[in-house]
Amino acid sequence: MANNNGSNCHLCMQKSDVFKRLNHDELDAVNGCRVTIKYRPGEIIFKQGSPCHDFVCIVSGLAKLYIESECEKRIIIGFAKPVDYIFVPGAFTDKRHHFSAVACEETTACLVNAEVFQNILDNNNAFASAFIKKVSEQAIGMFEQLASLTHKQMPGRIADVLLSLSQKIYNANPFVTSLSRQDLADMSGMTKESAIRILKTFKDDNLIRTDSDTIELLNVPMLETISRNG
């Protein structure tokens, strides 16, 4: 994990739209406490249960967000890609992380002190409004994920995963993914063996094509139907 403070928030071309609501002095405050860190694939950005001191903005790469149970079973609840910031509700409550974030590939993130962030929220209404909107969008995504896990059969859950990866995470079809089959299982709330079996069925039915790390959705309308029907 390497530390790189050579960039400047005023000159950054990869700012989240939320941070464009900051004035010059507020950007100075963010830049003064910001730390830029590079993570290798598999490195932990923060761990569930650990102290929460910073907000994290993903500058490059991809991070997965997951909840880990006492029996070490993981459920992936979302992803953060450029230029998402990872909302950490513990920063406003018990100062603890309630899920973990791990780099899926080479990832760079900016960490901003939570107290500085809180002070800006208290004093900049436009920033606070944009922040609340972004948090609400992230919450809706997690609710949709929960609904898929609890109300749909396994084929519907895998269809949801594939459509989400293509349309929301990679914005491409076909797409090259750094995610493992275990990650796909963790996204869909099932065992790795079950996920692989359903992927094979989709492949045999010419709904998808897989080649190493490349996945292509061959029949998006049918996958959407499977997703709707659950």
pLDDT at 4: 45
With a CB cutoff of 8 Å and minimum separation 6, the contacts of 7 are: 36
For residue 144, is it within any domain? no
Say if residue 99 is in the same domain as residue 30.
yes
Contact 49, 70 (CB under 8 A): no
User: Comparing 4-13, 107-116, 185-194, which segment has the lowest mean pLDDT?
Assistant: 4-13
pLDDT at 182: 94
Look over the chain and give the mean of its residue pLDDT values, rounded to a whole number. 89
User: What is the average per-residue pLDDT within 97-115?
Assistant: 93
Say if residue 51 is in the same domain as residue 123.
yes
Which CATH number does the domain housing residue 44 bear? 2.60.120.10
Say if residue 78 is in the same domain as residue 156.
no
For residue 147, is it within any domain? no
DSSP characters over 6-51: ---TTT-S---GGGGG--HHHHHHHHHH-EEEEE-TT-EEE-TTSB
pLDDT at 1: 37
Contact 101, 80 (CB under 8 A): yes
User: What is the average per-residue pLDDT within 25-52?
Assistant: 93
For residue 85, is it within any domain? yes
Say if residue 157 is in the same domain as residue 95.
no
Say if residue 70 is in the same domain as residue 133.
yes
For residue 169, is it within any domain? yes
Please report which confidence band the pLDDT of residue 5 belongs to, taking 50, 70 and 90 as the band edges.
Answer: very low
Say if residue 56 is in the same domain as residue 124.
yes
Note down the domain range covering 203. Answer: 152-229
Say if residue 126 is in the same domain as residue 223.
no
For residue 146, is it within any domain? no
For residue 57, is it within any domain? yes
For residue 14, is it within any domain? yes
pLDDT at 13: 66
Say if residue 35 is in the same domain as residue 127.
yes
For residue 222, is it within any domain? yes
User: What is the average per-residue pLDDT within 46-68?
Assistant: 92
Please report which confidence band the pLDDT of residue 181 belongs to, taking 50, 70 and 90 as the band edges.
Answer: very high
pLDDT at 7: 64
pLDDT at 20: 81
Contact 22, 74 (CB under 8 A): no
> Strand 85-86 vs strand 35-39: parallel, antiparallel, or unpaired?
unpaired
Say if residue 182 is in the same domain as residue 81.
no
